Chain A
Amino acid sequence: MDKIPILKMGDYLLVTIQVDLYDRLALNLESDLVNMINKHSSKGVLIDISAVNIVDSFMGRILGNIAQMSKILDAHTVVVGMQPAVAITLIELGLPLSGVHTALNVEKGMTLLQEKLFLDSTVIADDTDDNT
Protein backbone atom coordinates (compact mmCIF):
# COMPACT_ATOMS: atom_id res chain seq x y z
CA MET A 1 0.00 0.00 0.00
CA ASP A 2 1.44 3.38 -1.01
CA LYS A 3 1.69 6.08 1.60
CA ILE A 4 2.51 9.75 1.40
CA PRO A 5 5.17 10.64 3.97
CA ILE A 6 4.49 13.41 6.46
CA LEU A 7 7.56 15.16 7.87
CA LYS A 8 7.51 16.82 11.25
CA MET A 9 9.55 20.03 11.53
CA GLY A 10 9.09 21.55 14.96
CA ASP A 11 5.59 22.96 15.17
CA TYR A 12 4.91 22.21 11.51
CA LEU A 13 4.06 19.25 9.35
CA LEU A 14 5.37 19.11 5.79
CA VAL A 15 3.84 17.00 3.05
CA THR A 16 5.27 16.77 -0.45
CA ILE A 17 2.96 15.03 -2.87
CA GLN A 18 5.18 13.47 -5.53
CA VAL A 19 2.67 11.17 -7.22
CA ASP A 20 -0.68 11.74 -8.84
CA LEU A 21 -3.14 10.96 -6.11
CA TYR A 22 -5.79 8.36 -6.55
CA ASP A 23 -8.73 8.46 -4.21
CA ARG A 24 -7.70 6.02 -1.50
CA LEU A 25 -4.23 7.55 -1.22
CA ALA A 26 -5.77 11.00 -0.76
CA LEU A 27 -8.20 9.76 1.88
CA ASN A 28 -5.36 8.09 3.78
CA LEU A 29 -3.35 11.31 3.68
CA GLU A 30 -6.32 13.18 5.11
CA SER A 31 -6.69 10.88 8.10
CA ASP A 32 -2.91 10.53 8.64
CA LEU A 33 -2.56 14.30 8.74
CA VAL A 34 -5.37 14.76 11.22
CA ASN A 35 -3.82 12.12 13.47
CA MET A 36 -0.39 13.74 13.26
CA ILE A 37 -1.71 17.24 14.02
CA ASN A 38 -3.49 15.84 17.01
CA LYS A 39 -0.54 13.81 18.26
CA HIS A 40 2.07 16.57 17.95
CA SER A 41 -0.24 19.57 18.56
CA SER A 42 1.13 20.97 15.30
CA LYS A 43 0.49 24.61 14.55
CA GLY A 44 0.75 24.48 10.78
CA VAL A 45 0.58 22.15 7.80
CA LEU A 46 2.39 22.82 4.54
CA ILE A 47 1.30 20.79 1.53
CA ASP A 48 3.54 21.00 -1.54
CA ILE A 49 1.60 20.05 -4.68
CA SER A 50 4.13 21.31 -7.25
CA ALA A 51 4.47 17.78 -8.69
CA VAL A 52 0.71 17.24 -8.95
CA ASN A 53 -0.68 17.40 -12.50
CA ILE A 54 -4.37 16.92 -11.78
CA VAL A 55 -6.54 18.38 -9.05
CA ASP A 56 -10.10 17.30 -9.75
CA SER A 57 -13.18 17.85 -7.61
CA PHE A 58 -12.27 14.94 -5.35
CA MET A 59 -8.72 16.08 -4.69
CA GLY A 60 -9.94 19.65 -4.23
CA ARG A 61 -12.42 18.48 -1.66
CA ILE A 62 -9.74 16.57 0.22
CA LEU A 63 -7.55 19.70 0.37
CA GLY A 64 -10.54 21.65 1.68
CA ASN A 65 -11.28 18.97 4.28
CA ILE A 66 -7.69 18.98 5.50
CA ALA A 67 -7.78 22.76 5.87
CA GLN A 68 -11.07 22.65 7.76
CA MET A 69 -10.10 19.85 10.09
CA SER A 70 -6.72 21.33 10.89
CA LYS A 71 -8.51 24.57 11.72
CA ILE A 72 -10.65 22.75 14.25
CA LEU A 73 -7.44 21.36 15.73
CA ASP A 74 -6.01 24.89 15.85
CA ALA A 75 -3.55 24.55 12.99
CA HIS A 76 -3.24 26.48 9.71
CA THR A 77 -2.92 24.81 6.32
CA VAL A 78 -1.08 26.29 3.38
CA VAL A 79 -1.02 24.64 -0.04
CA VAL A 80 2.07 25.59 -2.03
CA GLY A 81 3.36 25.28 -5.57
CA MET A 82 0.13 24.74 -7.48
CA GLN A 83 0.99 24.58 -11.19
CA PRO A 84 -0.58 27.46 -13.16
CA ALA A 85 -2.33 25.00 -15.52
CA VAL A 86 -3.87 23.29 -12.50
CA ALA A 87 -5.04 26.61 -11.06
CA ILE A 88 -6.65 27.62 -14.37
CA THR A 89 -8.38 24.25 -14.63
CA LEU A 90 -9.71 24.43 -11.07
CA ILE A 91 -11.36 27.77 -11.77
CA GLU A 92 -13.03 26.49 -14.93
CA LEU A 93 -14.12 23.35 -13.14
CA GLY A 94 -15.85 25.66 -10.67
CA LEU A 95 -14.20 24.38 -7.54
CA PRO A 96 -13.88 26.91 -4.76
CA LEU A 97 -10.87 25.97 -2.65
CA SER A 98 -12.57 27.60 0.29
CA GLY A 99 -10.55 27.99 3.45
CA VAL A 100 -7.36 26.84 1.75
CA HIS A 101 -4.47 29.29 1.90
CA THR A 102 -2.06 29.14 -1.01
CA ALA A 103 1.49 30.32 -1.60
CA LEU A 104 3.87 30.18 -4.54
CA ASN A 105 6.50 27.91 -3.01
CA VAL A 106 7.56 26.18 0.19
CA GLU A 107 9.60 29.15 1.39
CA LYS A 108 6.75 31.64 0.94
CA GLY A 109 4.33 29.14 2.45
CA MET A 110 6.51 28.80 5.53
CA THR A 111 6.64 32.59 5.90
CA LEU A 112 2.86 32.72 5.64
CA LEU A 113 2.48 30.07 8.33
CA GLN A 114 4.87 31.92 10.62
CA GLU A 115 2.96 35.16 10.11
CA LYS A 116 -0.29 33.40 10.95
CA LEU A 117 1.21 31.90 14.08
CA PHE A 118 2.55 35.29 15.09
CA LEU A 119 -0.87 36.87 14.56
CA ASP A 120 -2.44 34.13 16.68
CA SER A 121 -0.03 34.80 19.53
CA THR A 122 -0.58 38.58 19.43
CA VAL A 123 -4.35 38.05 19.52
CA ILE A 124 -3.93 35.94 22.65
CA ALA A 125 -1.68 38.62 24.16
CA ASP A 126 -4.32 41.26 23.39
CA ASP A 127 -6.93 39.14 25.13
CA THR A 128 -4.92 39.02 28.32
CA ASP A 129 -4.40 42.78 28.15
CA ASP A 130 -8.14 43.27 28.01
CA ASN A 131 -8.66 41.15 31.07
CA THR A 132 -6.30 43.13 33.26
Chain B
Amino acid sequence: MITLNKETIAIKREQDVVFFRNRVNEYAEKIKMGLVNKTKLLTAASELVRNMLIYAKEGKVICEIVTISALQTGIRLTFIDNGPGIADIDKAMTDGYTTGKSLGLGLPGAKRLVNIFDVKTVKGKGTTISITKWKNG
Protein backbone atom coordinates (compact mmCIF):
# COMPACT_ATOMS: atom_id res chain seq x y z
CA MET B 1 0.00 0.00 0.00
CA ILE B 2 1.37 3.43 -0.97
CA THR B 3 0.61 6.58 0.98
CA LEU B 4 -0.06 9.65 -1.15
CA ASN B 5 -0.92 12.17 1.52
CA LYS B 6 -0.50 12.13 5.29
CA GLU B 7 -1.44 14.30 8.23
CA THR B 8 -1.69 13.86 12.00
CA ILE B 9 -4.54 15.38 14.00
CA ALA B 10 -4.38 15.65 17.79
CA ILE B 11 -7.56 14.79 19.68
CA LYS B 12 -7.70 16.31 23.14
CA ARG B 13 -11.24 17.58 23.56
CA GLU B 14 -14.65 17.38 21.97
CA GLN B 15 -14.13 20.41 19.73
CA ASP B 16 -11.22 18.61 18.04
CA VAL B 17 -13.73 16.02 16.85
CA VAL B 18 -15.56 18.57 14.68
CA PHE B 19 -12.29 19.67 13.06
CA PHE B 20 -11.23 16.06 12.58
CA ARG B 21 -14.51 15.04 10.92
CA ASN B 22 -14.29 18.03 8.59
CA ARG B 23 -10.76 17.04 7.57
CA VAL B 24 -11.81 13.45 6.84
CA ASN B 25 -14.70 14.84 4.81
CA GLU B 26 -12.25 16.98 2.79
CA TYR B 27 -10.01 13.98 2.16
CA ALA B 28 -12.98 11.92 0.99
CA GLU B 29 -14.08 14.68 -1.40
CA LYS B 30 -10.52 15.02 -2.70
CA ILE B 31 -10.51 11.40 -3.91
CA LYS B 32 -14.17 11.67 -4.97
CA MET B 33 -15.36 8.95 -2.63
CA GLY B 34 -19.06 8.18 -3.13
CA LEU B 35 -21.59 9.62 -0.68
CA VAL B 36 -22.57 6.32 0.96
CA ASN B 37 -18.96 5.22 1.43
CA LYS B 38 -18.05 8.64 2.78
CA THR B 39 -20.93 8.58 5.25
CA LYS B 40 -19.88 5.11 6.44
CA LEU B 41 -16.27 6.21 6.86
CA LEU B 42 -17.24 9.36 8.76
CA THR B 43 -19.58 7.41 11.03
CA ALA B 44 -16.95 4.75 11.82
CA ALA B 45 -14.41 7.52 12.48
CA SER B 46 -16.87 9.25 14.77
CA GLU B 47 -17.31 6.06 16.85
CA LEU B 48 -13.57 5.48 17.21
CA VAL B 49 -12.69 9.05 18.05
CA ARG B 50 -15.39 9.10 20.74
CA ASN B 51 -14.04 5.87 22.25
CA MET B 52 -10.61 7.49 22.31
CA LEU B 53 -11.89 10.54 24.19
CA ILE B 54 -13.98 8.52 26.63
CA TYR B 55 -11.70 5.60 27.44
CA ALA B 56 -8.22 7.03 26.81
CA LYS B 57 -8.96 10.75 27.43
CA GLU B 58 -6.90 11.79 24.39
CA GLY B 59 -4.90 10.60 21.43
CA LYS B 60 -4.18 11.31 17.80
CA VAL B 61 -5.35 10.24 14.38
CA ILE B 62 -3.18 9.78 11.31
CA CYS B 63 -5.16 10.50 8.13
CA GLU B 64 -3.80 9.12 4.88
CA ILE B 65 -4.83 8.78 1.29
CA VAL B 66 -3.62 5.33 0.29
CA THR B 67 -3.53 3.39 -2.93
CA ILE B 68 -2.85 -0.24 -3.83
CA SER B 69 -3.27 0.03 -7.58
CA ALA B 70 -4.24 2.51 -10.21
CA LEU B 71 -7.79 1.37 -9.63
CA GLN B 72 -8.05 1.30 -5.88
CA THR B 73 -7.65 4.45 -3.78
CA GLY B 74 -8.95 4.96 -0.30
CA ILE B 75 -8.57 6.62 3.06
CA ARG B 76 -6.81 5.08 6.01
CA LEU B 77 -7.34 6.48 9.49
CA THR B 78 -5.16 5.28 12.37
CA PHE B 79 -6.36 6.07 15.89
CA ILE B 80 -3.55 5.98 18.44
CA ASP B 81 -3.95 6.42 22.17
CA ASN B 82 -1.91 5.70 25.30
CA GLY B 83 -4.94 4.82 27.38
CA PRO B 84 -5.70 1.71 29.44
CA GLY B 85 -5.93 -0.66 26.46
CA ILE B 86 -8.83 -3.03 25.86
CA ALA B 87 -8.79 -5.92 28.31
CA ASP B 88 -10.69 -8.43 26.19
CA ILE B 89 -10.63 -7.42 22.56
CA ASP B 90 -12.68 -10.40 21.36
CA LYS B 91 -15.48 -9.47 23.70
CA ALA B 92 -15.14 -5.77 22.85
CA MET B 93 -15.65 -6.62 19.17
CA THR B 94 -19.03 -8.27 19.80
CA ASP B 95 -22.30 -6.36 19.52
CA GLY B 96 -23.62 -5.24 22.87
CA TYR B 97 -20.43 -5.52 24.90
CA THR B 98 -19.68 -2.38 26.89
CA THR B 99 -17.81 -1.55 30.08
CA GLY B 100 -19.82 1.66 30.26
CA LYS B 101 -23.58 1.99 30.29
CA SER B 102 -23.78 2.22 26.54
CA LEU B 103 -24.95 0.05 23.66
CA GLY B 104 -21.56 -1.50 22.88
CA LEU B 105 -22.03 -0.86 19.16
CA GLY B 106 -19.04 1.36 18.44
CA LEU B 107 -16.29 -1.15 17.66
CA PRO B 108 -18.29 -3.90 15.91
CA GLY B 109 -20.37 -1.30 14.07
CA ALA B 110 -17.27 0.59 12.88
CA LYS B 111 -15.79 -2.68 11.64
CA ARG B 112 -18.90 -3.38 9.55
CA LEU B 113 -18.70 0.08 7.97
CA VAL B 114 -15.15 -0.13 6.58
CA ASN B 115 -13.11 -2.45 4.33
CA ILE B 116 -10.11 -3.06 6.58
CA PHE B 117 -10.22 -2.95 10.38
CA ASP B 118 -7.14 -3.67 12.44
CA VAL B 119 -6.72 -3.44 16.23
CA LYS B 120 -3.60 -3.60 18.35
CA THR B 121 -4.08 -3.11 22.05
CA VAL B 122 -1.82 -3.66 25.05
CA LYS B 123 -3.25 -3.53 28.55
CA GLY B 124 -1.95 -0.49 30.41
CA LYS B 125 -0.16 0.83 27.32
CA GLY B 126 -2.76 1.86 24.80
CA THR B 127 -4.75 1.06 21.70
CA THR B 128 -4.12 1.53 17.99
CA ILE B 129 -6.99 0.99 15.59
CA SER B 130 -6.56 1.39 11.86
CA ILE B 131 -9.45 1.53 9.39
CA THR B 132 -9.38 1.75 5.61
CA LYS B 133 -12.27 2.61 3.33
CA TRP B 134 -11.90 2.26 -0.44
CA LYS B 135 -13.31 4.86 -2.73
CA ASN B 136 -15.31 2.21 -4.56
CA GLY B 137 -16.65 -0.89 -2.88
| Chain A interface (Cβ < 8 Å from any Cβ of B) | 20, 22-24, 53-58, 61, 83-86, 88-89, 92-95
Contacts and interface: CB of A to CB of B under 8 A. Distances in A.
Interface string B1-40: 0000000000000110110010001000000000110111
B39 A88 contact: yes
B46 interface: yes
Given A92-B109, A93-B113, A94-B108, A54 B36 contact: no
A88 B108 contact: no
Given A57-B102, A58-B50, A89 B21 contact: no
A94 B50 contact: no
Secondary structure of the A contact surface, majority rule: helix
A54 B103 contact: no
Contacts of B110: 93
Contacts of B43: 54-56, 89, 93
Secondary structure of the B contact surface, majority rule: helix
A24 B39 CA distance: 21
A54 B17 contact: no
Given A88-B39, A92-B109, A95-B103, 17 more contacts: A20-B21, A53-B42, A55-B43, A56-B46, A56-B47, A56-B50, A57-B103, A57-B105, A57-B109, A61-B103, A83-B39, A85-B36, A85-B39, A88-B40, A92-B112, A93-B112, A94-B112
A18 to B, nearest CB: 14
B50 A86 contact: no
B2 to A, nearest CB: 28
Contacts of A83: 39
Interface residues of B, number: 26
B136 to A, nearest CB: 15
B106 interface: yes
Nearest to A19: B18
Contact of A94 (B40, B42, B109): B109
Contacts of A56: 43, 46-47, 50
A38 B90 CA distance: 44
Contacts of A20: 18, 21
Contacts of B18: 20, 22
B51 to A, nearest CB: 10
